[in-house]
Amino acid sequence: MIQVTIDTHPIEVEEGTTILEAAQRLGINIPTLCHHPALEPYGACRLCTVEITQNGRSQLVTSCNYPIRREIEVQTASEKVVKGRRLLAELLLARCSNVPKVQELAASLGVTQVRFEPHDELCYLCGLCVRVCRERIGQSAISFVGRGVDRQVGPPFLKFSTDCIACGACAFVCPTGAIQLKDITDKEPRPLLSEFDMGLARRGNIYIPFPQAVPKIPVIDREHCLHYTLGRCETCEVFCQAKAINYDQEDEFLDLDADAIIVATGFDLIDPRTKPEFGYGVYPNVLTGLEFERLSSASGPTMGEIIVNGKKPKDVVFIHCVGSRDPHTGVPYCSRVCCMYTAKHAHLVRDKLPEANITAFYMDVRAFGKGYEEFYDRVRHERILYRRGEPSEVYKRGDRLVVRAEDTLLRKSIEVEADMIVLATAVTPRADTAAMATLLGIERSPDGFFQEAHPKFRPVESTRPNIFLAGCCQGPKDIPDTVAQAKAAASSAMVTLSRVSRSRTA
């Protein structure tokens, strides 16, 4: 260990630690533009220059790539240092006069006047992009091109790179937006879409699946992560201060002996493309209820702002019963939750867009639960127009959508223009229900959900003893019904367990 003093603060560091690292540990800020913790020190921007004194001699060195080998005294803001930094900032500001990052830096050093002719460059040649591509991605698709005043960053001969894998690390790391992937390659970047945000937002290769995830820890997408696919990058490992990244961790399969099983595998939603008349997948402003749910969520991709096609919608149309009550789509039953969540969605739109025209098209409103009819009453009073008639066609007029329906109470065919259409899609059994039923040896009812032992008297038991059902795996239900069934299933399992333990002790 070596004793160092930085701005009169003493610190002990291992040999080879850079001055910048030591200063950062002390909480002393040294400005830099080219340093990145996951990349090798580079010393290009010279802003991190500090004054060191050893053996009574002082000298100026760049702190990012100066390894501490013996006892030194460091001044991070001596007169000499500050003067030099100011000159650098002035030159940078002249080069990149409109780059916010440079403007901030100059302001923090008190530089406001520039004595040189100003230019409007975006790139200040920090080389982060070049280095991340070489050191982390291992592709070296871009590099410095040209010399002196012509020096710039780009692929060889400034033609589309064949080596580029369109990972986007260069553009991500670029502090000014000078690097654009479309200048480097014609390969389409493959954005990873957040499953939880219904594809409305992107996610990284390492991500926390959703805000309420238990345990709330990140997972790595092995199909896309560069470590698993190319054996490179490993940047997350550098950043993780807890050293929690473990690339060798494998999925664990547990064999458990159980006396009771509670099946709570949930449900799927019907693909709205099975009802092509609504134009889902054709028009981006036709959403499913679940997509709307993410759009209006405070933790969603727009932080809860309702924005479609870059605008706040003026006319919003909700369509009930999309796929439900329709034997042709394999959903002869009522999905039971759509009427109420649509009412809630309409209420949310009213709350966030007080001026919007909101129409809900329905064939029947089924507000059957406790407090539900009252909520339906309340929502209608919030100027939500319920019109009776199931829409049968959606098409475009100019840049707006048109919903075609018969208002059956008017006995008239109508067109309603809309900027956003939300489809209340049917609840269906999970795609893997058949496999699960075979695995567990339990039966399914004709609608595809798991069969309860008796529709009236044994609604939480499956057709096999000691396997219990909870929630939508048994049939569509809302939250209160799901909770009631889940508690009943848990109690039933307890009965089994107590019988088993009594017979074991006896």
Partner 1 sequence: MQVDTLELSQKFNLYGCIQCGKCVGGCPVSMKTALDVRFLIYEALVGVLPDPTHMEELWDCTCCFTCVERCPKDVKPAELIIGLRSLLVESGTIPKTVTDALQGIFRQGNPLGFAREQRADWAKDLNIKSAQEGCELLYFVGCTPAYDLRLQPVAKALAKTFQKAGLDFGTLGIEETCCGNEVRRVGEQGLFEMLVEEGKPLLESTGAKQIVTISPHCFNTFKKEYGLSGMQVSHYTQVVANLLEAGKIKFGGRVEKKVTYHDPCFLGKQNHIFDEPRAILQAIPGVKFVEMDRIRERSLCCEGGGGRMWVEGTNMEERLAFQRVQEAVETGAEVLAVACPFCLLTLEDAVKVKGLEDKLRVMDIMELVNMAL
- Which residues lie near partner 1 (CB under 8 A)? 276-277, 279, 321, 325-328, 363-364, 388-396, 404-408, 411, 413, 415
* Nearest distance, CB of residue 319 and partner 1, angstroms: 11
> Closest CB to partner 1 among 119 and 400?
400
> Closest CB to partner 1 among 54 and 408?
408
> Closest CB to partner 1 among 381 and 397?
397
- Classify residue 486 by burial, with Cβ atoms within 10 Å: 0-12, 13-18, 19+: middle
* Nearest distance, CB of residue 391 and partner 1, angstroms: 5
Residue spans of alpha helices (H) in 110-168: 128-131
In this structure, what token pair is assigned to residue 103? 């403007």
Report how far residue 340's alpha carbon sits from residue 349's, in angstroms, rounded to the nearest whole number. Answer: 14
Report the amino acid identity of residue 367: A
* Nearest distance, CB of residue 489 and partner 1, angstroms: 33
Neighbours of 404 (CB within 10 A): 15
Asked if 174 contacts 128 with a C-beta cutoff of 8 angstroms, the reply is yes
* Nearest distance, CB of residue 392 and partner 1, angstroms: 3
> Closest CB to partner 1 among 100 and 276?
276
* Nearest distance, CB of residue 368 and partner 1, angstroms: 17
* Nearest distance, CB of residue 390 and partner 1, angstroms: 4
> Closest CB to partner 1 among 400 and 454?
400
* Nearest distance, CB of residue 104 and partner 1, angstroms: 48
Asked if 396 contacts 283 with a C-beta cutoff of 8 angstroms, the reply is yes
> Closest CB to partner 1 among 52 and 331?
331
Asked if 32 contacts 39 with a C-beta cutoff of 8 angstroms, the reply is no
* Nearest distance, CB of residue 380 and partner 1, angstroms: 19
In the block, tokens 């074991």 appear at: 504
What is the pairing mode between strands 357-362 and 315-322? parallel
* Nearest distance, CB of residue 354 and partner 1, angstroms: 29
> Closest CB to partner 1 among 177 and 276?
276
> Closest CB to partner 1 among 370 and 411?
411
* Nearest distance, CB of residue 278 and partner 1, angstroms: 9
> Closest CB to partner 1 among 163 and 326?
326
> Closest CB to partner 1 among 169 and 321?
321
> Closest CB to partner 1 among 382 and 390?
390
* Nearest distance, CB of residue 446 and partner 1, angstroms: 17
Report the amino acid identity of residue 303: M
Dmax (CA) of the chain: 98
Question: Residue 3: enclosing H or E segment and its boundaries?
Answer: strand 2-6
Report how far residue 50's alpha carbon sits from residue 35's, in angstroms, rounded to the nearest whole number. Answer: 15
Report how far residue 26's alpha carbon sits from residue 20's, in angstroms, rounded to the nearest whole number. Answer: 10
HEC string of 21-89 equals: HHHHHHCCCCCCCCCCCCCCCCCCCCCCEEEEEECCEEEEEEHHHCECCCCCEEECCCHHHHHHHHHHH
Residues contacting 114, CB < 8 A, separation 6+: 90, 93, 94, 97
> Closest CB to partner 1 among 163 and 406?
406
Report how far residue 248's alpha carbon sits from residue 121's, in angstroms, rounded to the nearest whole number. Answer: 44
HEC string of 379-427 equals: HHHCCEEEEECCCCEEEEECCEEEEEEEECCCCEEEEEEECEEEEEECE
Neighbours of 494 (CB within 10 A): 11
* Nearest distance, CB of residue 403 and partner 1, angstroms: 9
Name beta bridge partners: 2.
Answer: 13
Report how far residue 130's alpha carbon sits from residue 125's, in angstroms, rounded to the nearest whole number. Answer: 9
Q: How many CA atoms lie within 13 A of 379 on its CB side?
A: 25
Asked if 157 contacts 102 with a C-beta cutoff of 8 angstroms, the reply is no
Q: How far is CA 252 from the centre of its chain?
A: 26
> Closest CB to partner 1 among 11 and 338?
338
* Nearest distance, CB of residue 395 and partner 1, angstroms: 5
